[in-house]
Amino acid sequence: MKLQCAVVDDNTSVLKLIKESIQEGFRNHNIDSNIETFSSCPQFEKRRKEAQFDIVFLDINMPEMDGIDYAKFLKDHETESKIVFVSSREERVFEAIQLQPFGFVRKSSFLQDLSEVIERYSNIKKEDTGNTTICVTVHGRKKTFSIKNIAYFEGCGALQIIHLLSTKDVEEASSSMETLENSLKEHGFMRVHKGYLVNFFAISGFDGPDLLLTNGERIPISRRKLQTVKSEFLELCKKYSVLTF
């Protein structure tokens, strides 16, 4: 999935430059990013209620709302977004550090500081691939789930039921099965049936036309997809270095 980034700066003339520099920086680390720009914190806050962002590049000195005050707001609301302050006011770096941001980019040494932040984030992301998350709409609100904790999705009309490995409780995602399949295929999810999208890491084996899951459940495999599912399973075993006998 693409890395979702936001840039908040009241100087609209530099927003494009910052966006392009960030995009190029992540591209150099083979990370595909989607970057949205905002000219104020209130403008970004409206968008934040609709979407999940992995990293937010936040200018400190803005007229409508101070970037540091807004960062405190984000912390209070337990957002998982990484915060990177971008500012020409270097004397405020110590004030910003109290909020434990992911980084601080000085505009006076923009490219150097940005490069260091992107490299550090990229390294962490590569080391933490097992903790990838997905953000879906549940009862009208955005909710984030750890991909490794999802056993499978079960189709139910316009909703997809999320079955988790950690609990017997389920959640209902407002998304099409096709959208979920396209987003999660690269993370080892297999469409084994019209109504089932299963996490490879939740599979313990096969029993005739059924998949056996690590939580004891059985998932039916479409008869016409049985051989394809078995082939995909073996390919994923190779990809993730899972031994089969």
* Cα 54 off chain centre by: 6
Quickly state the pLDDT bin for 127 (edges 50, 70, 90).
low
pTM above 0.85, yes or no: no
Average confidence score pLDDT of the chain = 87
Contact between 231 and 190 under an 8 Å Cβ cutoff? The reply is no
**What mean pLDDT comes out for the span 204-224?**
92
pLDDT tens, residue by residue, 143-157: 889 888 999 999 988
Q: Please report which residue ranges of the chain form alpha helices under DSSP H.
A: 12-27, 41-48, 67-76, 93-97, 110-127, 177-184, 226-239
pLDDT in tens, 176-192: 999 999 989 988 999 99
Query: What is the pLDDT, as a whole number, of residue 140?
Result: 87
Residue whose token pair is 């020409």: 88
What's the one-letter identity of residue 159? L
Q: Is the pLDDT of residue 245 over 50?
A: no
Average pLDDT of 156-164?
Answer: 91
pLDDT digits over 215-238, tens only? 999 999 999 999 999 999 988 887
Higher pLDDT, 115 or 130: 115
Q: Which domains does the chain have, with CATH numbers?
A: 3-127 (3.40.50.2300), 131-239 (2.40.50.1020)
Q: Which long-range contacts (CB under 8 A, 24 or more apart) does 226-231 make?
A: 229/190, 229/192, 230/206
Model confidence band, residue 45 (pLDDT cutoffs 50, 70, 90)? very high
Low-confidence winner among 24-28, 71-75, 98-102 (lowest mean pLDDT)? 98-102
